Structure 1
Amino acid sequence: MSTVVQSGSTAASSHAPKRSTRRLTDIKYRYPGRYLAAWAALALLIVAALIVAPASLKGDSVWVVTALAGTLALASMGQMLIIMLGAIDLSVPAILAAVAGIIVHYGGDGANVPLVLVAAVAMAVVISTVNGILISVLGLNSLIVTLATFGIVTGLISYSTGVSFSLTGQAPQALQDFAQLSIFRVNACFLVAVVLAALLAGVLHLTRAGRRVAEVGSNPRAARALGVRVTRVRLSSFAAAGLLYGLSGVLLSGFVGTPDSTVGVPYQLATVTAVGIAGGIFAGGPASVASVVVACIFLQLLDQALAILGLSAGARTIVQGAALVIAVAAITVGTVGASSVRRFTRLLRSKS
């Protein structure tokens, strides 16, 4: 009897390392190393800021950073969905400006503010969906389409509402009160972004429809061969991106208070940079929502620290562009290097 027990325990112990190995493999598959770049960058930045610009981590600075990180995170999550499909959206600034224009122009005294906000977000969804139709149905290049959309929408908004959108140029006071709300120095915009990020991550990882976004982006032909309705997935992703752009525009308008037609200009580069730092694959494929949010915090904290140190807006934009190049290069080199090491190791094992 004792022999049987010992053999059983030996078998159980032999299976334990296998289960542990499988769990580690699953974790590495779900959370590859490229997703850690944003987290590492933020940790290093916090340490550096504590040394050279401690004011960026105190008081009202935290409120500003979390507010702008929240609005950027919403827009970047929309950009992430587009990049997961293997495209890039350059129309983000125009969509944000259009949302702000509708809110300011039609949300004055006596207006039905909730209806105006819904209309503004709906327009963002429509614009992004039109982009999706031109790109996914007609097969046009995403850069050309979204750049054209940027020009057309910006021109229409400026022509119809003017640069300041209205005589007062102010967003509704109720929206300002909410978007400027502070909870323990953390802005409400950031809290909204975190909640929506959790919902988006759940949809992308736990639902069949969500998982198909990465499948279509990685290999649309294989996805179509497996019965996935590729065009429907793409159009749904563009519509969802438009929804996120719209919400970002709403909160950004409320936080700024007096937005104009240039309110979304920084987001053309910033959203792409955030997804790049977060480990997004620009050729299409899976991405990490959490890493995108962390990348947005990194970018806004970096901008705030540099502003405190006296750098101009132009210099800070240069740093932002450099951060994108460095992040993409590091992720690419790391991925290629890891693949080369694995191939070399397998070659040595096969010869031994």
Structure 2
Amino acid sequence: MTAVTRDPVEGNGPMTMTADAAVPTRTAQRRPVRLPAQGILLANVALVAVGTLVLNVDLFSRASLSTLTPVIGVMVLIALGQAFIIGTGGIDLSIPATITLVGIIVLKSASGDNAALLKAIALALVVCLGIGLVNGLLVEVTRLDALVVTLATGQLIAGATRMYRGPVLAVSNVPSDLSDFSRKSVGQVSVILLVALAVAALVAIWLRYHTSGRRLAASSVARVAAENSGLAATRQRLVAWMTGSFIVGIGAVVLAGQIATPDLTLGAPYLLTPIVAVVLGGAAISGGRVRPGATALGALFLMLLEHILRVRGYSSGVALAFQGLVLGVGLTLVATSKKFRWSPISAKRGGTPSAPSTQDPAMNQQNQE
């Protein structure tokens, strides 16, 4: 039997003929069960219902929306950056230190001057790209463990931030243009949340429809398969590290504007929570496809949960305990779901297998998405 194969990303490359290739039948192709985006969407709906109807927390009042929407927006951006790293099978523990460094760069480089704001933001984002590149090189090229690498670089970044900041700052506030922008609202929705949703939408479009995004997604999901298909998998995974760090930088900039007086604790709350948000979005810690929409819903769930607990008078320790519980349950659900497969009806009834499929691998990839 002869099989026809094409480039898995482009779908229009030269065809190669492989004799006696083992082509799986349709009954042999079994679709893995995943924790779907609908699951975290329903979880958000249930949380809103419980918070509003049972716990009497008004989530839609002006005060609640003005408090919730900016923190949700920041968390969506930072979780989306972490999602790119988790998509490669790694975890970035240097994110809190990176956020703090960005805040200090914007604070010190601009020195409260609106005219120097764009230069300070550009410098901060370039530094984020450099951090992502260094982490990516150490993990993807030298094949060091991502946890060890990012823990070490996080400590280095924290030390460099303290040295760069110095003992005393002449200015303690970011430029007014940044703080005014970060505190704006459209209706009752913070502009930070709108920026986060726009970034998530652009990322989703890029990963699904643009060639470079599809190559990055393919290289993140299966490195060896991507290399065998002729893709520069290592380079694509480096791009994933840099993209994730860049998006984290965007979140850090708007966070600094929203806080207005960023200090050395700016990034401290963002170590565990973004990882939990990504896991709630259905990602596996071992790596996989980035799902921006599901990641955003995971961030929304966590911020709603934290807000409800605080309104009801619980301490921050209770919120952290809930996040740890959610992380454990989420990881268990994702890991368990991968063990199940959909059983074809024909297989259950003892039907005969259908003819071998010769569909283009690129079309198979799009259908599975």
The TM tier, using the shorter chain, reads: 0.7 to 0.9
In structure 2, the residue matched to 1:91 is 94
How far apart are the structure 1 equivalents of 2:330 and 2:245?
Answer: 26
Residue 339 (structure 2) pairs with residue 322 (structure 1): no
- Secondary structure of the residue aligned to 1:349 is coil
In the TM superposition, residue 347 of structure 1 has moved relative to its aligned partner by: 5.7
In structure 1, the residue matched to 2:217 is 214
Deviations 1:102-157 (A, max 9, x none): 11112224451111111111111111111011111111111100010111101111
Q: 1:43 aligns with which of 45, 50, 62?
A: 45
In structure 2, the residue matched to 1:17 is none
The amino acid across from 2:173 in the alignment is Q
In structure 1, the residue matched to 2:117 is 113
- Structural RMSD (CA): 2.3
Between Structure 1 and Structure 2, the one with more helix by share is: 1
Distance 1:31 1:349, change over 3 A: closer
Deviations 1:71-129 (A, max 9, x none): 11111111111111111111110110000011111222445111111111111111111
In the TM superposition, residue 346 of structure 1 has moved relative to its aligned partner by: 3.3
In the TM superposition, residue 235 of structure 1 has moved relative to its aligned partner by: 1.1
Q: 2:228 aligns with which of 225, 229, 233?
A: 225
How far apart are the structure 1 equivalents of 2:46 and 2:40?
Answer: 10
Deviations 1:270-311 (A, max 9, x none): 111110000012211213111111111111111111110111
How far apart are the structure 1 equivalents of 2:252 and 2:133?
Answer: 17
How far apart are the structure 1 equivalents of 2:118 and 2:152?
Answer: 30
- Report matched runs for 1:298-337 at 5 Å: 298-336=301-339
In structure 2, the residue matched to 1:296 is 299
In structure 2, the residue matched to 1:131 is 135
In structure 2, the residue matched to 1:25 is none
Distance 1:91 1:73, change over 3 A: same
In structure 1, the residue matched to 2:144 is 140
How far apart are the structure 2 equivalents of 1:29 and 1:63?
Answer: 42
The amino acid across from 1:35 in the alignment is A
Q: Is the 8 A contact 1:122 1:246 kept in 2?
A: no
In structure 2, the residue matched to 1:77 is 80
**Number of aligned pairs?**
321
Distance 1:319 1:33, change over 3 A: closer
In the TM superposition, residue 350 of structure 1 has moved relative to its aligned partner by: 6.2
Q: Is the 8 A contact 1:277 1:327 kept in 2?
A: yes
In structure 1, the residue matched to 2:278 is 275
Q: Is the 8 A contact 1:53 1:305 kept in 2?
A: no
In the TM superposition, residue 189 of structure 1 has moved relative to its aligned partner by: 0.4
Deviations 1:234-288 (A, max 9, x none): 1111111121011011000001111211111111111111100000122112131
Residue 264 (structure 2) pairs with residue 261 (structure 1): yes
Q: Is the 8 A contact 2:216 2:239 kept in 1?
A: no
The amino acid across from 2:299 in the alignment is C
How far apart are the structure 1 equivalents of 2:345 and 2:328?
Answer: 28
Residue 151 (structure 2) pairs with residue 150 (structure 1): no
- Give the alignment's TM-score, normalised by structure 1: 0.85
- Give the alignment's TM-score, normalised by structure 2: 0.82
Unpaired runs of 5+ residues, structure 2, are 1-29, 353-369
Distance 1:53 1:211, change over 3 A: farther
How far apart are the structure 1 equivalents of 2:272 and 2:56?
Answer: 24
Q: Is the 8 A contact 1:205 1:211 kept in 2?
A: yes
In the TM superposition, residue 160 of structure 1 has moved relative to its aligned partner by: 2.6
Percent identity, please. Answer: 28
Deviations 1:26-83 (A, max 9, x none): xx97995432232121111110111214233321211221101111111111111111
Q: Is the 8 A contact 1:70 1:190 kept in 2?
A: yes
Residue 197 (structure 2) pairs with residue 194 (structure 1): yes
The amino acid across from 2:51 in the alignment is A
Q: Is the 8 A contact 1:95 1:153 kept in 2?
A: yes
Moved more, 91-100 or 326-335: 326-335
Q: Is the 8 A contact 2:57 2:311 kept in 1?
A: no
Q: Is the 8 A contact 1:91 1:147 kept in 2?
A: yes
In structure 1, the residue matched to 2:5 is none
In the TM superposition, residue 162 of structure 1 has moved relative to its aligned partner by: 4.6
How far apart are the structure 2 equivalents of 1:332 and 1:276?
Answer: 11
Q: Is the 8 A contact 2:112 2:173 kept in 1?
A: no
Unpaired runs of 5+ residues, structure 1, are 1-27
Q: Is the 8 A contact 2:76 2:296 kept in 1?
A: yes
How far apart are the structure 2 equivalents of 1:304 and 1:132?
Answer: 35
Q: Is the 8 A contact 2:40 2:294 kept in 1?
A: yes
How far apart are the structure 2 equivalents of 1:58 and 1:31?
Answer: 38
The amino acid across from 1:133 in the alignment is L
Q: Is the 8 A contact 1:84 1:213 kept in 2?
A: no
- Secondary structure of the residue aligned to 2:58 is helix
In the TM superposition, residue 345 of structure 1 has moved relative to its aligned partner by: 8.3
Q: Is the 8 A contact 1:49 1:57 kept in 2?
A: no
Q: Is the 8 A contact 2:277 2:299 kept in 1?
A: yes
Shift >3 Å, 4+ stretches:
28-33, 343-348
How far apart are the structure 2 equivalents of 1:183 and 1:53?
Answer: 26
